Chain A
Amino acid sequence: MKLVYLAIFLLLVLCAHAQNDDETIFDEFTLNIGDRIEIGNYRILFIEVQSEKDGLAILGVSKPGGTLDEQRVMLVNNANTFDGGAEEGGLTITVEEIFDDQTAKVRVEHKENMGTARKRVSEGPKIAKNVPNLIVKKNLDKGRLTVGEDVKVTVTVKNIGTGTASSIQLEDLPPLSEFTFLAGYPPKIKDKLEPEESDSAIYVMTAVNDGSVKVPSIQVKYKDSKENQKSNNSAPFDLIIDPKSKPQLNIEMVPSGPLPAGGQGLLNISIANIGRASATKIKIESDIEPSVGFEAIGLDKTFFEIPPGKIESYSAQLIGKNSGNYTIILRAAYSSSEESMLSEMQTEIVVLEREYKYLYLLLIIPIMAIAVWILKRYREYKY
C-alpha cells in the first residue's frame, strides 16, 4: 500500500515538473521612444507613438541574422503575435497604454525557458522628431484699469517643439462679460507655425463693469504632422477694474443740540466730495418736516465746483417755535462730466418743551426777599 502512495507522489512531482518547463510568462515595461526589450533572440524597439488619440504605437521586432525584422503599428490592448505567439515559442506583444507621445506601457509574453526579458534604455534624444509644441501667452498693457478704459491684449504663440504645428486656433475661455471687445477679436494668428516660429495677435477691449476679474486662460489648439490634435493653455491671472471716476457728495449735518422752544440754534453742514472727480453746479435744497413750528435760515446753497477730496462747509440758523421732532432733509443735485447726480441726507432736530425749570427762581427770589425783609422788620420790632 505504501508503495502505491509513493508511486502516486512521484508521478505527481514528475507531472508538475513537466508542466513547469512549458510555462508562458509575461513582463511589463514602460518604454520611451528608442528604448528596447531583449528576450531570447528577439529585440523589440519602441519607435514612436503614432496617435495618442487613436491609441496607435509603432514597435519594431527583429532577430539577429535577419530571420525576423518587422515594424508593426499596434493598437492599444490588442495582442500581436510573432513566430506563432508565446504559446508556440514565439512572442505576444501588447501595447497596454499610451501615456503621451513619448511613452507607452508594453507587455511581452513568452515561454519561461526563453529567459528573462530585459529593458535597454536608448541613449539618444528621447524627443520624438517632428513633434510640434506650442506655448501661448496672453498679455495686457495695463495691470489695473478703470471702467471705460481701453486695454490692449497681446496673444503670443510660439512653437517650441520640433515639428510643424498646423490648424492652429485660438480660443478664449470664456469671453469676459466685464469687457466689450472693440477690434481684433477674436484674435487670429497664422495657421501654421514651424519650430521656433512665433506669431502674435492684438485685440482691444473696453472695461464696462468694475470689480476684480479673473482673466481666464486662452487656449491654442493645433495638429501635428500626424494630424494629432494638441492644445495648450496660457496661465490665468487676476485683474482689478476700478469703477469709473465720478464725483460723490457726502452731506453731513451737525446740529448744535436740542433747541429750547422759542430758542435758536445752529446747524453745521459740510458737503464732502468723496468721489474721484469734480462735482460741479452743486445746488443744495432743503425740506423740513413737519413744515410748521420750525424754521431754518440759510439751508439752501449753491456751489460751482467741489473738487475731489474737498469739503465745503456752511451753517444755517435754526429757529424752534414749537416743541417737537423735526426732520431736515438736504438734497444736493450736482453734475459729473456726463451725468447729473443726487445726494440726500436727513437729520433730526428736537425742539424741547418749554423749560420751566428755572422759573421757580422767579418765585423764590421775591419770596426770599420778602422773607428777609419781614425777618428784618421782625427783628426791628422785637424787644
Chain B
Amino acid sequence: MLNVLMLGIGQCGNRILDAINKEAFGGSMINKYCFGPKFPSRVDTLAINTAINDLKELRFTLAKDRLHVPNLHGVGANRYNGKQAFWDNRDMIMEEIEKRGDIDITFVITSTSGGTGSSFSPLLIQELKRRYRKICVIIVAVLPFREEGAIYLQNAAFSIRELMEAEADGLILVDNQYLKRYSGDIASAYDKINSMVAQRLLFLIDSLDSEMLMVTDLGDFKTVMSGGLCIGTIGFFQSDKKNPSVKSAIENSLKPSNLLYPANVYDDAARAMVIIQGSKEYLEVDEITKEIERLSASAGQVFKGLVVKRGYPKVLSVFTLASVPELESLYAQAARAIQDEKDRKKRAKKQLTDAFAHIEDMDEIY
C-alpha cells in the first residue's frame, strides 16, 4: 500500500486539498459526519497557510490536518516575506509532516502566483528531498488568470522557475486561465477546477496502488514524470451509456478540452500513461492496444493500466511535455508586466522628484 501525503499550501492549495477530502467523502456532508473519508491508499492530507482565515474556510479537512504558520497579517503576495515566514517556521512545519510517518509520494499542491504557496513550496520540496531521500515529490501547480495582475504574473514566473530548480520528480500544471471557460463566475470556476483536480489525483493514486494485473505503479509514474521537461498535465474522460466505447474514451481523455493545461498530446507529449477503468465487457483489448499504439507513435513511451471495476469506461491520461509554448507566452507576458511595472514605478518616482523640486532650497516659514 502506498503512503501518500497531500500537501495543500496557500489558499489555492488548501482549497484543492479540501476538494480532495470532499471527493474522498463521496462529495457529501452526511458522509463526512457518518463515515470516514475513503481514500484508495493510506493518504494523509495537510493544509498549510499563513492566513488563518483561509484555513478556517475549509470544510472537509480535519482540524489536525490544518497547519497555521503564524505570520503577522499574512504575506500579501510578497514572496520574500513568504520565504522568510517559511524559514522562521521550518522546524515546526517539518515536524508536522514527520508526524505523518512513512511517505512514498508527496503531492505539493499550490498556486504559483500567490505569496504563501508559491514561496513555501520550492523551499518545502528542498527540505523534503533532503530529509526523505527516497520520496517522490510531484508538484501540482496552478497558473493564475492572466488578467489577475502584474504581481501574480511575476510570482508565477519566478516560482515556476524555483519549483523546477527544487528537483521535484515532476510538475503537473493546472491552468486557471484555460479552465476558466467551465464556469461564469470566479467562485464556481474555482470549485469546478478544484474538484476536477481532486478527482483526477484520486483516480491516479487508486490506479498506482491497485493490485490488479496490467496495472501501472509508482515506478511507471515516476518514469512518465521524468520525461521531457518534467512538466506535464492530466487528461480525463468518463464515458456514459450513450457512448460506452473504450476507444472514444481514450481519445477523449487526450483531447485538449479534457486536459488541465492546454497542450497537444500527439505533438508535444514526451511520455504518457493511460489508465483505463471500467466493466470487463467494455474493455476491448484490441481497441485499447490500437489507441495506445497510436499514442506511442508520437510520445516516446506510453504506460498502460487496466483496472476492472464496475461501470462505463473511465480514462485518465498523464503525460509529460517536450515543449510548453503556453508557458513561454506566460513568461513573456510576465516579463512585459515586470518591465511595465518598473517603468511605472520610475515614472511615478520622477513625478515625485519633480514635484519635490519645486520646494528645493526652501524652508518652512511660520
Residues of chain A at the chain B interface (Cβ within 8 Å): 373-374, 377-383
Contact = CB atoms under 8 A, between A and B. Distances in A.
Interface residues of B, number: 13
Interface stretch (B57-65, B95-103, B301-309): B57-65
Contact of B33 (A378, A382, A383): A378
Contacts of B59: 381
12 contacts: A373-B33, A374-B33, A374-B34, A377-B32, A377-B33, A380-B64, A381-B32, A381-B61, A382-B63, A383-B58, A383-B61, A383-B66
A379 B64 CA distance: 10
A165 B30 CA distance: 128
Contacts of B56: 383
Contacts of A379: 63
Contacts of B61: 381, 383
B118 to A, nearest CB: 23
A378 to B, nearest CB: 7
A373 B30 CA distance: 12
A194 to B, nearest CB: 127
A381 B47 CA distance: 13
Interface string B88-110: 00000000000000000000000
Interface of B: 32-34, 55-56, 58-64, 66
A304 B34 CA distance: 70
B353 to A, nearest CB: 49
B63 A380 contact: yes
B361 to A, nearest CB: 60
B57 to A, nearest CB: 9
Nearest to B52: A383
Contacts of A378: 33
Best-buried of B32, B61, B66 by chain A (most CB within 10 Å): B32
B32 A383 contact: no
Top-3 shortest CB links A-B: A383-B63, A374-B33, A377-B33
Nearest to A376: B33
Contacts of B63: 379-383
B60 A381 contact: yes
B149 to A, nearest CB: 30
Contacts of A383: 55-56, 58, 61, 63, 66
A116 to B, nearest CB: 142
A374 B60 CA distance: 14
Nearest to A382: B63
Given A380-B62, A381-B63, A383-B63, 6 more contacts: A373-B33, A380-B64, A381-B32, A381-B61, A382-B63, A383-B66
A375 to B, nearest CB: 10
Nearest to B61: A381
Contacts of B64: 380
Contacts of B34: 373-374
Contacts of B32: 377, 381
A316 B64 CA distance: 65
Nearest to A378: B33
Contacts of B62: 380-381
A371 to B, nearest CB: 10
Nearest to B47: A383
A157 to B, nearest CB: 115
A383 B51 CA distance: 13
Nearest to B62: A380
B144 to A, nearest CB: 26
Nearest to B36: A377
B27 to A, nearest CB: 15
